[in-house]
Amino acid sequence: MKIVLLGYMASGKSTVGRLLARQLGVGFIDLDDHIEQKQKKSIQDIFSKKGEIYFRKLEHQMLREVLDAHTSVVLSTGGGTPCYANNMETILQQSDLSIYLNHSIPVLVERITKEKEHRPLVKNIPDHDLPEFVGKHLFERRHYYMQAEHRVDCDPLSAEEVVGAINELL
């Protein structure tokens, strides 16, 4: 079974994905980590040296490769992955289950604020501007996220509880 987790940055896709994969006894792949390993460069490096268009094409190629190469996997996508290069269509066609991990803007802002240094997209945004940025960005991306076959409302669930909610979908 191929399960794809999607959602905004800091929504817990990687944490939940690892737990879910372990419970199901299948492999786990974080798409961003996979890209970095294959390219031997950080995503931040790829963005700054080759640009976003190059990165999005590479991301699409890697998404297809991962979904083609595995019969059973839990895949955590980047926050923007579903929004570019017909990736949402690819996810829906090549996975058995797609799940949007939904969080409220205040919860996302709280999580992102704690790890801003590791998030190039928001690293230089002042904390007081973060709610507006996340709200606008989420508004632009939600259309793609909502195409997932299932949505799990994660506020105020722990990662383990989110995995439990996903297990109920299986």
Q: How confident is the model at residue 48 (pLDDT cuts 50, 70, 90)?
A: confident
CATH number of 2-165: 3.40.50.300
Average pLDDT rounded to a whole number, residues 18-40: 97
**pLDDT at residue 51 in the model:** 87
pLDDT reading at 28 higher than 80: yes
**pLDDT at residue 142 in the model:** 96
Q: How confident is the model at residue 137 (pLDDT cuts 50, 70, 90)?
A: very high
Residue 96 main-chain phi, psi, to 5 deg: -90, -25
State the Cα–Cα distance between residues 42 and 48, nearest whole angstrom: 10
**pLDDT at residue 149 in the model:** 97
pTM: 0.95
CA-based torsion, 113, 152, 87, 29: positive or negative:
positive
Cα angle at 5 between 122 and 156, to 5 degrees? Answer: 70
State the Cα–Cα distance between residues 116 and 122, nearest whole angstrom: 6
Q: Between 47 and 15, where is the model more confident? A: 15
Q: Which residues of 3-16 are buried (b: 16+ CB within 10 A; e: fewer)?
A: bbbbbbbbbbbbbb
What confidence tens digit (pLDDT) does each residue in 96-125 have?
A: 999 999 999 999 999 999 988 878 788 889
**pLDDT at residue 52 in the model:** 86
